Structure 1
Amino acid sequence: MRHRSALVERSRATIKDGSKSFAAASMLFDKATRERVWLLYAWCRRCDDIADNQDMGRTIKGALGDQSNAPDRLKSIKVLTRRALDGLPTADAAFDAFGLVAQECGITQGMADDVIAGFALDAQDWRPRGEGDLMRYCYHVAGAVGVMMAKVMGVPADDEETLDQACDLGLAFQLANIARDLVEDDAAGRCYVPMEWLAEEDIEPGQHTKPHHRTELADIADKMILIMDRHAKSARLGAAKLPFRSRWAILSATRIYSDIGYEVRKRREAAWDSRVYTSKAAKLRHVSAAFFEALANTPRGPDELPRWTRSQLAEKAATA
């Protein structure tokens, strides 16, 4: 088993290379929490890369890697994760890191299985039929990670309300990502837009990213961002219960990722002409604004509560 310091350093390098936004926000945590965030991120990134057959989310021209042996790669994720949770060496630093943070923070097999189920959906070339299916996917690949993050920040297992709001944050992040990457995902052969939404916009199957449907695609993105906004505002209520530095970090990340969604909505039909991202200057502004928001700690929840809750999505996942 690798030494903790080596796993932390390897994980730090991973988050620095894999997500500048998360890396920047993670520096706001206290040292112990920051290191555990890195350890958890390393596992998430590695699982994603194994599932997509990529290296740090990258291949030539951004396409997915060869998907012919997707079930075998999914099995590898499950086996390595199980070994890590059992405290056994895995010969993979990211999984060893996960075993360490799981032991320190009480992350369970069930929590890991919720995340891995999202990779299983992609391996099946799955498509959402309705809004609930879209939200179930977001729950697996991001909402469940939000629950793990809450555990890393010390939220007790019986604090269901705060865990629900941590899940809300993950859902919001994933909806922003999906809205931004609609065209990029289509190029990779994936579509996370519910089929019912496409039918409502009178879009032919497989044609949603074609230029003549750009207005309809912008309408679909607007719908996603409205749902994102409700979940992000709900997550702020959960952040209010965290220690100051964790609250500051979470509010910074919320602002940065919500801004991506708002920019997609603002650009409308031009949202996919170039990739939407948050500049370094904008990140600094969000971090500064989050500091004062965390200091005041008087969050305002959404005008309308999110339609989908963690318990609903977990139940939907269990019966799918």
Structure 2
Amino acid sequence: MTVQRPVVVAAAPTLFAADGSLDLHRSTRLYRHIAESGVDALFVGGTTAEFPSLDERERADLVRAALDAAPASRVIAHVGAASGWQAARLTKRVRSLGARRLAAVTPYFLPAGPRALREYYAQVCDAADGLPVYAYIYPDLTNTTVRPDQLAELAALPGLIGAKVSMSGAAPIAAYAAAVPPGFELLSGSDAELAPVVRAGGLGVVSGVASAVPEPFLALAAAVAEGNTQAEQEAQEEADQAVAAIGPSIALLKEALALRDLPTGSSRMALDVPNDDALDRLTHFLDGAYTNGARTDAIAEPPAAS
């Protein structure tokens, strides 16, 4: 049975120069490459992009760069912040740049209760002025939980059309899908679980790994849509290997970009440099099918911007 192909959104990293400054030129080049890779959209300025280390102007600059690299319909601009005041301010700013799809992580550091959560998203949706907004649920990092009944309540806000759920496995998607109204879009950050996520009621995945290695996720999405069991199994194995090799590590993601001769750079946040075993696993996974065999040191000494 053929169904609609699941959505694959690439969560793009932000590239920094060795001194920690924003490398906007190289980030733009990477956005362009990702947009041309076949993924459905770019998720810009999110957790993979180290957004807590970016100021408002830099976050807006990255959205502008993404809009230069891809149509606005294929760019999801993350505007979430610790407060609704900050999130609404950034929402207005990126809307003026031409952003047409938005996402906002829940308030973070201090946990937000149901009333504060609703007020936060009401501020974002009001500032969005009719543009579609995705709630971004990541309780492990934000300290804010969103129960299924709470998400159903948030779904009534004008413009809030879906949620990006960074929780492991398909079970959270199934619980949310049972609570929200029909047509509410659920995207999972559990990228290796694309097939179970879709079968649980999700639309697809948002994957940081797909910024460097989109091929297995796109193949998996196509196999699920076609109902091709053998192709799905093969693509699933490859997707599992990609996630195991790169995982949630931003540092390894940038190493993977370097190994594929793609624009890369340093990180600004306090991230550990991958150890030799992790680098060997990554190189072994990418060697042959995904690289030309050459390795660039992406973390310690990124090449100068051109």
With normalisation by structure 2, the TM-score equals: 0.31
- Structure with higher strand content: 2
**Structure with the larger RCO, 1 or 2 (CA within 8 Å, 6+ apart):** 2
Structure having the larger proportion of residues in helix: 1
TM-score w.r.t. length of structure 1: 0.30
